[in-house]
Structure 1
Amino acid sequence: MTSNADVLIVGAGPAGLALALLLLKNGISVRIIEKGNSLSVGQRGATIHPRTLELYKILGILPEVEKRMVHTPDLKIFTSPEGDGPIKEVGILPFMEEQPQYHRINSYQFGQDTHQGLLRDEIAKYGCLVEFNTPLESFEAHSNSVTACISGETATFNWLVGADGARSTVRKQLGLPFHGQSHAPSLACGDIEVKGMANDLWYIWGDTSHKMLSLRSFQVDGRQLGFFMMGGAKVDTVRAAESRDNLVETLYDIIGQRSIEFGDLIACGVWKANVRMIDKFGEGRVFLVGGKCPTGGQGMNAAVQDSFNLAWKLALVHKGASPPNLLQSYSTERVPVIAAILDMSTEIMRRNFAQDKKVESSNWSRGFEVRQLGVNYRNSTIVVDQVTPTSKDENADPFRAGLDGRTRGGDRAPEAPNLIDPEGRVWSVYDFLDVTTHTILFFTPGSTFVTGYPPHFVKHWLIYPQGSSLDGDERAVVDRDGYAYKHYQVQQGETRIVIIRPDGYIGALLETEEDIPFYFRYIFSS
């Protein structure tokens, strides 16, 4: 296998694999290494939120993801030991009817082992294979390259990205310390074979003030398995995780009966919550993705969003199309988002590990914001909004402000279905987007604008209001049901130009065509 590539990615979890696929689609060669000696086993990091599904639509892999994911069941909460039946049922992520402004609105379960397997298959189509049992030993960053020592081999790359989790070797060698704290409560987590429990159920016994067990059933290759999390003030999680016998003994102790039979132990480990931050996610030619969010189903999803934010910028800079300082916006955009997610995660942990039993039974439900559809970069220095400019004293919530009912520069691009082209074909805005180009939407009746930017970097579509006739332009559509004009908050007869970035966020909201270069001056070198 060739040692050298444009980018070395350290870590083959969802963040590293997604980044590899994003870069490969942008024509950037990748080498990805993983210090572990086997494929990931287990469900950990299983919740996939709708914003991640929207991003996977743009990446082109959503149909394959949807074949493999399953719905999120409601929780049935029992006492410990179990009494006559559940004392409460909680919709942790209640199912919602689809809404046209979102490409997807519901959260699902998509086990990390399945997730990583799908992404490995996708990068393999580009001839890129994960190198297991291959740790990064050290690296040295230079002005134009990075030299890495990998299992005794020395190789040179243009860029290095650490996707190696909270204990990141890359982070430590960069000298970026964590600020924050480790939370004392720990959980034993893993997968075990189960019998006597129907598929797609989620049970919780007890509470963390004493003993608590969460058990969600699922099927893999015809086998009935359960993903468990157990802990509490009276549970020795380290001892429980030492062996299958210890684990099963603890499971039955918490449940209080043996109606469920436990078989082979598939995976087990001890997890401890950390609420810690670093001040920046990169330095020079070295960057970090993922490994920052402890709970609430946020970690994997936030990590994948890190990769989407970084990939398009890194690709443009590597190709010489964008100035190197564009990469500074990776940290300035993502650090506030992760900080806001950590604040929310801290509150979720406080409730989940509450010592007050009276509030414990309702501590598992999650608000709409956890679906990450409100994540935004309104405060970014590379975002342009001429329609509703951000004032200097405005400090938009980077995690929730995108849900305030306004469409602003830096928000996720709203979806809009039922756009009809001259051939009668039906499109949606998310059909126009991809991870290699900026997409310009012209809400401009009669516009004759033809973009002067290379088509492999920028493409455009004209969106005409309801009732319009098309003149045959293959990149023109009619907004048959009015969703595009409604969701992008454009009145008929107004001129509006929306520039959507390759990561699915609005880079610019403009009022005239002549102002398009005003946004791209931040992005392109010339």
Structure 2
Amino acid sequence: MDKSSVLIVGAGPSGLVLALILLKCGVSVRIIDKQTSHSKGSRGAAIQPRTLELYDILGILPDVLKAKAGEPLRPSIAKYEHGETNPAMFVKVVDIVEPSPDTPYPNTYYVDQEIHEEILRSHLQRLSCTVELGSEFRGLEQFPGHVVAHMEKTDSVGNKVKETASFDWLVGTDGARSVVRKQIGIEYAGETRAQCIAIGDIVVEQGVDPKFWHMWDESPNSIIFRPSGVKDLSFMFFYTGRSEELVDKPITRQEFVDRFYEITGRHDVRFGPAPWLSNYRPNMRMVKHMQVGRVFLAGDAAHCHSPTGGQGLNSGVHDAFNLGWKLALVHKGHASQTLLATYDQERIRVITHMLKVTTELHDSSLHRLHAGEKMTNESWARGGDIQMMGINYSGSPIILQEPDAVAGISNPYSRPIGSGPADVQAAYRAPDAPGLVFIGSGESENGKTTTLFSVFSVKVHTVLLFGSDEDCGEHVLEVTTRLPVGVAQAVRVFPHGGKSLSGFSSYEVILEDRDGHAYAGYGVPFNKLTAVVVRPDGVVGAVASGTDGVERYFRNFCQI
């Protein structure tokens, strides 16, 4: 096997997304997993709006949306009294938000993790990469210029074959029990709760509507069903019962069914198979550092938390987006290794807050159940911050921000969905804008419509140039052309009918904002040049009124 540049240990969503980003950036990858078959079950099914946006930039979103017939689940909880077939009440968990030009995917989408991972693997296969199953990571040795990994492969007949291989970098996405994390000696600080929860997937053949969540609460026992989709009979269940019955071994299907009938009195409900069942103790843990030398951690290997709020899988995917472009630039010699330190600096702050949010949701939800508190829309609301649209990297050393802007932002989840853009700001997500038309971009593209998310790329920075200042625009273009090939693309965005195209053929992409959404959504003037630098992870790195700001941004990590 040819030497690969990066070894990724663990083939969950975090590892798969990271592999996909690196391959698209031209970095060779091996991805291994100790399991001998791919994981089954719904598990982490919530894909938050910000993750959907990142998947649009990555180019996999159409397959994700097709996975569940193209509509988000509408999660209201139907709560029942003992023995009753009609709900005593409905509680709305989230509001359905209408899309807008700057936020095309404002609602949480539900895709079973099993299907989610299949989609990611299919995109990897298109890039000639497959997950090496039955390959267990055993240990590593670090050297100044490479990492040596020790692995053990189990073949189809059960024979074990040891392998030692050298890589430029190694990333542990191998879950909460991460062997990589233990090998590099990073503490997994936090707590494990005493309460045990039974979870699993089970087919419900009749008796409950898949358009809703369902809850029965007979303290100290509670059962919640989360549907997989409006046309799917499979539900994920959460059962909090007597701790002593869940401690020693996972609950069986028959044990769960018997307890369901006892607790709910609903003998009209008929069950099918249960593909997987497990017992779970909530863990609230995270590392203080996500990098040691040439080894990195991402996903559950770096942070583990209550599933309440649907942040875990999504946070791991965001880790991969943050690390992927930085690792690619450094590996190819386009950026200094100091860039890699910002992975820690940016993500630890966000994960710390995320852990706080999910722990508070977990504790408040269980308290309401056990206290017999009346359910209300307000007490079970799951909108706002957990949709991850306000995640920001304010204060990062590679974000070009004014000092007063940094001082005013302490919350890394600070801009909830629905607040609208108050002009585009460095450190925050770059909004989308539809209704853009290619002009002066080659005969094959001219006249075609596009969106900014389609123009953004995980491979390069996108420098958006708004306004009519021709001289300043050409000076900014000169800055981007001095960068190493593959670091940035310059995109000129003209207002509708606002400019002749003569003399602008040197830009990689020229767009006309025919519907006006780009200028309105970014809050930029028509008569003054504004440069917005969008990182490959969809974060605004800088907003500048001239050449100096763009050059200062790239000088933070790149030779110009």
TM-score, with normalisation over the residues of structure 2? 0.88
The answer (yes or no) to whether the contact 1:88–1:361 under 8 Å persists in 2 is no
Match of 1:182 among 192, 209, 232: 192
The aligned counterpart of 1:135 is: 136
The change in CA–CA distance for 1:372 and 1:439 in structure 2 (over 3 A counts) is same
Distance 1:157 1:285 in 2: 9
Deviations 1:206-225 (A, max 9, x none): 348421111133479x9732
Indicate yes or no: 2:409 matched with 1:379.
no
Query: 1:499 deviation in Å?
Result: 0.4
The answer (yes or no) to whether the contact 2:196–2:243 under 8 Å persists in 1 is no
Between 1:127-136 and 1:78-87, the stretch displaced more is: 78-87
The aligned counterpart of 2:157 is: none
Distance 2:110 2:175 in 1: 21
After TM superposition, list the pairs within 5 Å mapping 1:62-77 onto structure 2.
62-69=61-68, 71-77=72-78
Deviations 1:292-318 (A, max 9, x none): 243210001110000000000000100
Query: 1:108 deviation in Å?
Result: 1.0
The answer (yes or no) to whether the contact 1:352–1:360 under 8 Å persists in 2 is no
Residue type at the aligned position of 1:333: E
The aligned counterpart of 1:437 is: 460
The answer (yes or no) to whether the contact 1:80–1:212 under 8 Å persists in 2 is no
Between 1:451-460 and 1:259-268, the stretch displaced more is: 451-460
The aligned counterpart of 1:169 is: 179
The aligned counterpart of 1:417 is: 434
The aligned counterpart of 1:294 is: 306
The aligned counterpart of 1:252 is: 261
The SS at the match of 1:212 is strand
The answer (yes or no) to whether the contact 2:76–2:94 under 8 Å persists in 1 is no
Aligned residues: 522
Deviations 1:238-286 (A, max 9, x none): 4783322212212222322222211222011112222222111111100
The answer (yes or no) to whether the contact 2:187–2:287 under 8 Å persists in 1 is yes
The answer (yes or no) to whether the contact 1:322–1:525 under 8 Å persists in 2 is yes
The change in CA–CA distance for 1:113 and 1:84 in structure 2 (over 3 A counts) is closer
The change in CA–CA distance for 1:512 and 1:389 in structure 2 (over 3 A counts) is farther
Query: 1:489 deviation in Å?
Result: 1.9
Match of 1:265 among 260, 264, 274: 274
Two-structure CA RMSD over aligned residues (Å): 2.3
Between 1:70-79 and 1:508-517, the stretch displaced more is: 70-79
Distance 1:503 1:209 in 2: 45
The aligned counterpart of 1:106 is: 107
Distance 1:411 1:442 in 2: 18
Distance 1:42 1:431 in 2: 31
The answer (yes or no) to whether the contact 2:203–2:272 under 8 Å persists in 1 is yes
Query: 1:163 deviation in Å?
Result: 0.5
Residue type at the aligned position of 1:398: P
The aligned counterpart of 2:355 is: 342
After TM superposition, where is structure 1 displaced by more than 6 Å over at least 4 residues in a row?
A: none
The answer (yes or no) to whether the contact 1:412–1:505 under 8 Å persists in 2 is yes
Residue type at the aligned position of 1:165: G
The answer (yes or no) to whether the contact 2:467–2:493 under 8 Å persists in 1 is yes
The SS at the match of 1:268 is strand
Match of 1:499 among 525, 530, 533: 533
Indicate yes or no: 2:206 matched with 1:196.
yes
Query: 1:197 deviation in Å?
Result: 4.4
Deviations 1:316-361 (A, max 9, x none): 1000111011000001000010111111101110122113222455
Indicate yes or no: 2:299 matched with 1:275.
no
Distance 1:370 1:145 in 2: 38
The SS at the match of 2:310 is coil
The SS at the match of 2:149 is strand
The aligned counterpart of 1:366 is: 382
The answer (yes or no) to whether the contact 1:74–1:92 under 8 Å persists in 2 is yes
The aligned counterpart of 1:400 is: 414
Residue type at the aligned position of 1:59: L
Deviations 1:28-87 (A, max 9, x none): 111111111211100000000111111011111111111003522333332453435212
The answer (yes or no) to whether the contact 1:378–1:390 under 8 Å persists in 2 is no
The change in CA–CA distance for 1:392 and 1:102 in structure 2 (over 3 A counts) is closer
Indicate yes or no: 2:234 matched with 1:225.
yes
The SS at the match of 2:429 is coil
The answer (yes or no) to whether the contact 1:74–1:89 under 8 Å persists in 2 is no
Query: 1:477 deviation in Å?
Result: 2.2
The answer (yes or no) to whether the contact 2:463–2:488 under 8 Å persists in 1 is yes
Indicate yes or no: 2:451 matched with 1:428.
yes
Distance 2:260 2:244 in 1: 10
The SS at the match of 1:459 is strand
Residue type at the aligned position of 1:288: L
The aligned counterpart of 2:50 is: 51
Between 1:253-262 and 1:69-78, the stretch displaced more is: 69-78
Q: Which runs of 5+ in 1 are unaligned?
A: none
The SS at the match of 2:273 is strand
Between 1:413-422 and 1:305-314, the stretch displaced more is: 413-422
After TM superposition, list the pairs within 5 Å mapping 1:505-524 onto structure 2.
505-524=539-558
Query: 1:495 deviation in Å?
Result: 2.2
Query: 1:132 deviation in Å?
Result: 1.4
The answer (yes or no) to whether the contact 1:290–1:300 under 8 Å persists in 2 is yes
Q: Which runs of 5+ in 2 are unaligned?
A: 153-161, 440-445
The aligned counterpart of 1:464 is: 494
Distance 1:93 1:74 in 2: 7
